[in-house]
Amino acid sequence: MLIKMSKNATISKEQIEHVAWLARIELTEDEKKAFIKQLNEILDYFKKIDEIDTSNIEPTFHVIDLVNVLRADEVEPSLSKADALKNAPQKEGSFIKAPKIL
């Protein structure tokens, strides 16, 4: 859920208490005051960012201009069944035998 906050948004004590209740944590009055101060400072930074004109700037999805960092898939021969089962601790036919897990 996206919460849209107004330009003059501030975090209240009730909001801190609600989030603490949702997280099932107890906060002291000093901790509540500290969180209110810290979160309101963070909101102030966002307000500063909102003042910047970004209308001529393309959206950036990644800071490094990488397209695909993975190598191309290449078909190569794989192990034979005998080689794949060579180090298996227990075998049953051409399968690895493992304990039942319920």
How do the pLDDT tens digits run along the chain, 102 residues long?
345 556 677 899 999 999 999 999 999 999 999 999 999 999 999 888 888 888 888 888 777 777 777 888 899 999 888 898 988 999 888 889 988 887
Task: Residue 28: give the domain boundaries.
Answer: 13-50
Helix-then-strand count for the chain, H and E: 3, 2
pLDDT of residue 2: 43
Task: Please list, residue by residue across 43-77, b when 16 or more beta carbons sit within 10 angstroms of its beta carbon and e when fewer do.
Answer: eeeeeeeeeeeeeeeeeeeeeeeeeeeeeeeeeee
**pTM check: above 0.75:** no
- C-alpha 87: how far from chain center: 38
pLDDT of residue 1: 39
C-alpha 102/C-alpha 94 separation (Å) is: 23
Does 39 map to a domain? yes
Does 35 map to a domain? yes
Domain count, the chain: 1
